[in-house]
Amino acid sequence: MGYLIVFDMDGTLIDSEQTIIRCFKESAGKLGHKIDDASRYIGILKLTQILERNGVPEEEIPEIMRMYVDCYLRTFEEDTRTIGNSPEVLRKLQEKNELGILTLKNLNLTLEILKRFFPGINFRYIVCGDRPIENKIEGLRIIMKESGRDGKQVFYVGDRPSDVKSSELAGVNPIWVSFGLGRIDDFDFRGEFITAHSFDDILRIFS
């Protein structure tokens, strides 16, 4: 059945930066920690890894993450939005292809977002940061193993240069979306990838 098209979430399917930063700073702040560099690492590192980089004691991280998840689940509809016509394009893509999700979010948050913003979309493979995986390379390899697909039949759609790099290292086809959190100037390596400037571009790629 066509290809397996795997999507990143933050910056690719949804505009969630404000929600993540708001809840993350609020939750860390309750234990006296100031986090100023979350934006540059969204979709690249797990939030727990960002806390570690900011010197947050290991024993405090579970409580911060508990408060973060609670904040996100209660308030994400305030300032998280789908990007472009992504729901419409996904409905068309699933007619002839299989769809998947690979994100560093935890599974609970991911399922709530999909239920709210992407009803009727069948994401057959969902791999999240609490699988556990250390990075997206591991996540893509899990998806390939579970699907039985060769890397040539798998595409990963993401907005960060690290998504492109992870795709290459995992042996799948990268599609970089220019409308997300990553910028072309962020690429510090040479690689072959398809660029999509909109979800209509993604639809054309698979037409």
Helix, strand or coil, per DSSP, at residue 84: coil
Residues 72 and 119 in one domain: no
| Interval 155-179: pLDDT, tens | 999 999 999 999 999 999 999 999 9
Residues 173 and 89 in one domain: yes
Residues 28 and 110 in one domain: no
What is the pLDDT, as a whole number, of residue 34? 93
Q: With bands split at pLDDT 50, 70 and 90, how would you rate the model's confidence at 185? A: confident
Nearest CA-CA partner of 75 in 12, 129, 26, 131: 26
- Is residue 65 over pLDDT 80? yes
What is the pLDDT, as a whole number, of residue 203? 98
Average of per-residue pLDDT across 39-61 = 93
| Helix, strand, coil % in the chain, rounded to nearest 5 | 50, 15, 35
Domain count, the chain: 2
Q: In sequence order, which residues have a C-beta less than 8 Å from that of residue 3 and are 6 or more positions away? A: 97, 98, 153, 154, 155, 206
Residues 50 and 142 in one domain: no
The DSSP symbol for 10 reads B
Question: Considering the chain, what is the average pLDDT of its residues?
Answer: 95
- Is residue 1 over pLDDT 80? no
**Domain harbouring 169, CATH code:** 3.40.50.1000
What is the pLDDT, as a whole number, of residue 44? 85
**Domain harbouring 36, CATH code:** 1.10.150
| Boundaries of domain holding 64 | 17-79
Average of per-residue pLDDT across 174-195 = 90
Average of per-residue pLDDT across 68-72 = 95
- As beta bridge partners, residue 102 has 127
Residues 194 and 113 in one domain: yes
Residues 91 and 158 in one domain: yes
| Interval 13-38: pLDDT, tens | 999 999 999 999 999 999 999 998 88
| Interval 73-84: pLDDT, tens | 999 999 999 999
Q: Which of 63, 79, 95 finishes a domain?
A: 79
Average of per-residue pLDDT across 184-204 = 91
Token readout for 167 is: 């795709």
Residues 150 and 95 in one domain: yes
